Structure 1
Amino acid sequence: MAQTPNWDPPNTNTPTAKTTVTSFRVIEALLQHKTSGVSELAAEVDLAKGTVHKHLNTLRQLGYVVKDGTTYRLSLSFLRIGTTIRAAIPLYSISQAPLESLAEATSEVASIVVPENDWGIYLSRVQTDEERVLSIQEGERIPLHATAGGKAILAYMSEAERDRILEERGLPAITDKTITDAEKLKKELQYIYDKRSATDRGEHRIDRHCIATPIVDTDGRAMGAVTLSGPAERMAQKVEEYDIPSIVSSTANNIQTQFSRSVNSAQQ
């Protein structure tokens, strides 16, 4: 199973607070390992145990880390932050019912991916009885160039913005199917733009296939994408038997129409 690397942010001249960066390195390590002791965390983030212990104590006092015996874990305070942020995004509430219908109709995982800080973020995921445990959770970030949802978003960006993202993030190989050639990706993005449909056949996870359609705003820019994903063999079979791209596209159109109506109503 391919894992998305925890790439560092692009190298810019923007000033940063090293203490804050260190705290979030500790947070990310705890997120990955669920629970961990000071020694394990220190080795993971390559810092002195005393430094890691100080950051853990600070996060604990602020209510963001819980100590269980000799190990630490993240607290549910992060849940409050995440759910509050997501609830403030209109696309989330509008997309829930259509996503549930898509997942029920296809028996595959239906999702909304949105762009943020040059990544794709899973805003929402609806699982099915056939896939009770999601390998990628809501809130996780994915590389735009290696996923159907990400490519759908890239295809509807301005050329200048797209070129900047690809130059800063690069085209790292996540699997041996990932497109790492800029010209090849550019041609595929044009095809996606023309067809308004994107695919990912093992580019992010070798055992998964995904189909996506962008959700565009009034300026024609993608504010997100509807994706449908499942095991490679099962998805390939369903694509042959049913018009899956059209089903995904219909869901995206439904969400896009509802979003436009909500915006128009708010402006009246």
Structure 2
Amino acid sequence: MNKTVLKTKELLDLFLESERLTLPEMVARLQMPKTSVYRMAQSLVALGFLQKQGDDYELGLSLLTFGTLVAERLDLRRVALPVMERLKEETKEAVNLVIRDGDEALYIEKVETSEPVRVYTKVGRRAPLYAGACPRILLAFMNEADRERYVEQVELVKMAKCTVTDKQVLRRLLEEGRNRGYTVSYSELENYSAAVAVPIFNHEGAAVAGLSVAGPEQRFSPDDIARIVPRLKQAAMAISRELGFRGQG
């Protein structure tokens, strides 16, 4: 590998922990000759990767441009679809991908089951965050202040026979979901339907989507849930890794 490129990367890496550095500070940390560090720093300033404020250097706007492009080009649906297709083959049930859009969950991708008896959910469907496993996993992994604000303000409307309409019950389900890393629902959005869902995390560790396996209630017994959850978590983690997540989930 090119030594100059490697040394330049080492210099930029210094700013992962420090917002600003002077030339003497960079020289001390890199253990390189002052003239070499100065030339690298000035070249990076000219390219926009560093900027100088008085005696201090800091990261430049060119890095923001590249970072934004990476984020924009990391299409969640494109990354998730092959994983969803494998999960459908493993579970034999429909797989849904859901994101938060304001106070609603938006279904943005689906892989349909090949079973003749199925739950019909189409891409573009919206659901309140409190109802159904996949919307509720998004609510469960919101930050605490936003989550409680939502619960306080929302009107819990009954949409199916088991829709949660008690806020204390909802709070308990949200806490359980965060603790065990998945949520389960039965007949909350549609009668006789069931789903189990887990979060998908981005490079910042934020839950940016929910991944669920859904189908008729009779195919989601406790034994079925125990079989599905490990596969579902593994699939969600695979997608999260593609989005830059480096935590443990």
Normalised TM-score (structure 1): 0.60
Contact 1:109 1:131 (8 Å CA) reproduced? no
1:183 Cα shift? 1.4
Note if 1:215 corresponds to 2:225: no
Q: State the distance in 1 between where 2:180 and 2:204 align.
A: 18
Closer, same or farther: CA 228–196 of 1 in aligned 2, 3 Å: same
In 2, the alpha carbon distance for the partners of 1:198 and 1:216 equals 16
Out of 114, 117, 142, which is 1:129 matched to? 114
Distance 1:134 1:187 in 2: 27
Query: Helix, strand or coil for the counterpart of 1:146?
Result: coil
Q: C-alpha offsets along residues 148-203 of structure 1, whole Å, 9 cap, x if unaligned?
A: 01111111101222233334432111123111111111111111101101001111
List per-residue Cα deviations over 1:82-102 (Å, max 9, x = no partner): xxxxx9771110000000001
Evaluate the alpha carbon distance shift between residue 187 and residue 134 of structure 1 in structure 2; reply closer, same or farther with a 3 A threshold. closer
What is the distance in 2 between the residues matched to 1:143 and 1:102? 25
Structure 1 letter corresponding to 2:229:
P
Tell me if structure 1 keeps the 8 A contact 2:119–2:214: no
> What do the CA deviations read for 1:108-146 (whole angstroms, capped 9, x no partner)?
100101000211111100012215876221011111111
Q: 1:254 maps to which residue? A: 238
Instruction: Name 2:30's counterpart in structure 1.
Output: none
Compute the displacement of 1:235 (Å).
Answer: 2.2
- 1:251 is aligned with what amino acid? A
1:108–1:131 Cα contact (<8 Å) kept? no
4+ residue segments displaced more than 4 Å: 131-134
Aligned length: 175
Moved more, 127-136 or 185-194: 127-136
Is 1:235 the counterpart of 2:212? The answer is no
Determine the structure 2 residue equivalent to 1:174. 159
Separation in structure 2 between the aligned mates of residue 213 and residue 133 of structure 1, nearest angstrom: 20
Distance in 2 (alpha carbons) for counterparts of 1:187 and 1:163: 12
CA distance in 1, matches of 2:157, 2:172: 18
- Letter of the 1:250 partner, please give it: Q
Structure 1 residues 132 and 126 mapped into 2: Cα distance closer, same or farther (>3 Å)? Answer: farther
* TM-score, normalised via structure 2 length: 0.64
154, 173, 187: which one aligns with 1:188: 173
Identity of aligned residues (%): 25
2:44 aligned residue: none
Distance in 1 between residues matched to 2:83 and 2:98, nearest whole Å: 14
Quote the residue 2:85 is aligned against: 100
Whether the aligned pair in 1 keeps the contact of 2:182 and 2:198 (CA below 8 Å) is: yes
Is contact 2:74–2:243 with CA below 8 Å preserved after alignment? Answer: no
Matches within 5 A, 1:41-80: none
Contact 2:94/2:111 (8 A) holds in 1: yes
Q: In 2, distance between residues paired with 1:93 and 1:159?
A: 30
Which deviates more, 94-103 or 176-185?
176-185
Aligned residue identity for 2:212: T
For structure 1, list consecutive stretches of 5 or more residues without a partner in the other structure: 1-86, 262-268
From the CA coordinates, give the structure whose radius of gyration is larger: 2
* Contact 2:141–2:178 (Cα < 8 Å) also in 1: yes
Q: Compute the RMSD of aligned alpha carbons.
A: 2.4
- Residue of structure 1 aligned with 2:75, choices 86, 90, 93: 90
2:236 is aligned with what amino acid? A
Q: Which amino acid aligns with 2:227?
A: D
Provide the rounded CA distance (Å) in 2 between the counterparts of 1:154 and 1:252.
17
